[in-house]
Structure 1
Amino acid sequence: MDESTERNGTARKASGTSEVPQRLMATATRLFAARGYERTSVQEIVDAAGVTKGALYHYFGSKDDLLHEVYARVLRLQQERLDAFADSAAPVEQRLRDAAADVVVTTIENLDDATIFFRSMHQLSPEKLKQVRADRRRYHERFRALIEEGQEAGVFTTATPADLVVDYHFGSVHHLSNWYRREGPLSPREVADHLADLLLRALRA
């Protein structure tokens, strides 16, 4: 075997290894969405993913870990994007609108994940549930800080407490899985624009 062939073989092996957790996540998400978390067994997940139980336990440890990662990966994405919006040099009204619209779009783009999580969140272990709540709180606090910044600058009204504004917007986001349909008349961006505009209209001084 020459050096080039050996390198290519090593690269394929490494790529195949990195694909295993992604394949497990995709399979678990599909099965959880179709059958429910409780009614999906570890054996069904590994059979459908074409891997062994040992591979699943190597990457995730348990079915509980899979459920946690379903939500955590979306929240990580949303936190990174929120931080980027919040740290930009744009006016605070634009930064808040961008963040408010983005969380709608990213939730719809990962609607199966959101549906699974809110339907099955209570089945997480107490430790993981505590971690998820802390991560969500950190996200909401960064979002609220944008509202408070605008209120202090006189751009947004102070008539409504910032905490209530946050609950109002994210209540709408959390209900997306109950009514949004990809084949419906509104695209993710259109829904995001409507909800972001509603938020900004309610906040304008």
Structure 2
Amino acid sequence: MPRRLLAVATRLFAEKGFDRTSVQEIVDAAGVTKGAMYHYFDSKDDLLAEIYARVLRLQTTRLEEIAAGPGTVVERVRRAASDVVVTTIANLDDASISFRSLHQLSAAKQREVRAGRRRYHELFRSLVTRGQDEGVFTDRVPADIVVDFYFGSVHHLSTWYHPEGALSPRQIGDHYADLLLTALRTD
């Protein structure tokens, strides 16, 4: 039932917007009662926070595996940079809803979401910093700015990506990774 509620909420939030979707519409479309929804989620805010959190959990798990996995730091940054693009595109409605609507969450929920995102960015940044420390990446630009700039571009995927486009998600991810690695080159 929580998955069904999340799927319905995701669809409705994507179609109508978070603020224009009522709890009643969600439960009607999911074929459950409000009581059943409130058994799993305390509020509509909780649904929105979980939509974001489930993508972030997936991406964090994958980044942890990449960071701890084999290969040079350059290879791992390439895989991580491409992966976040591919997984964002695979969950584009979730990402779009989250970035459009996170400001509508309660302050406490916003802090939770930001803390999870910060942990992800810190792990990604640690890979960039490692490459800078090893001398394979330039340190002309601080790692914090590199990571913020990169993720800013990833967050905008939902504004222009279309599944019917000429490039596959993997190709787009590889192009993004190439751009990042080109910017980090030492020469």
Answer yes or no: same fold by TM over 0.5.
yes
Letter of the 1:88 partner, please give it.
G
Runs of 4+ in 1 over 3 A off after TM superposition: none
- Give SS of 2:55's match: helix
Question: Which residue number corresponds to residue 115 of structure 2?
Answer: 134
Unpaired segments of 5 or more residues in structure 1? Answer: 1-19
* Relative contact order higher in (CA < 8 Å, ≥ 6 apart): 2
Q: CA RMSD in A?
A: 0.7
Q: Residue 3 of structure 2 is aligned with which of 7, 22, 42?
A: 22
Alignment of 1:54-65 (within 5 A): 54-65=35-46
Letter of the 1:21 partner, please give it.
P
Letter of the 1:181 partner, please give it.
H
- Give SS of 1:90's match: coil
Instruction: Summarize deviations over 1:118-140 as a string: whole Å, max 9, x none.
Output: 11111101101001111111110
Number of corresponding residues: 186
Question: Which residue number corresponds to residue 106 of structure 2?
Answer: 125
Q: Provide the rounded CA distance (Å) in 1 between the counterparts of 2:182 and 2:19.
A: 42
Deviation of residue 146 (structure 1)? Answer: 0.2
- Give SS of 1:96's match: helix
Instruction: Summarize deviations over 1:16-69 as a string: whole Å, max 9, x none.
Output: xxxx00000000000000011111111111111111111100001111100100
Q: Provide the rounded CA distance (Å) in 2 between the counterparts of 1:73 and 1:159.
A: 35
Query: So what's the TM-score if we normalise by structure 2?
Result: 0.98
Q: Provide the rounded CA distance (Å) in 2 between the counterparts of 1:54 and 1:42.
A: 11
Deviation of residue 164 (structure 1)? Answer: 1.1
Q: Provide the rounded CA distance (Å) in 2 between the counterparts of 1:184 and 1:89.
A: 33
Query: So what's the TM-score if we normalise by structure 1?
Result: 0.89
Larger Rg: 1
Question: Which residue number corresponds to residue 169 of structure 2?
Answer: 188
Instruction: Summarize deviations over 1:3-25 as a string: whole Å, max 9, x none.
Output: xxxxxxxxxxxxxxxxx000000
Q: Provide the rounded CA distance (Å) in 2 between the counterparts of 1:138 and 1:116.
A: 21
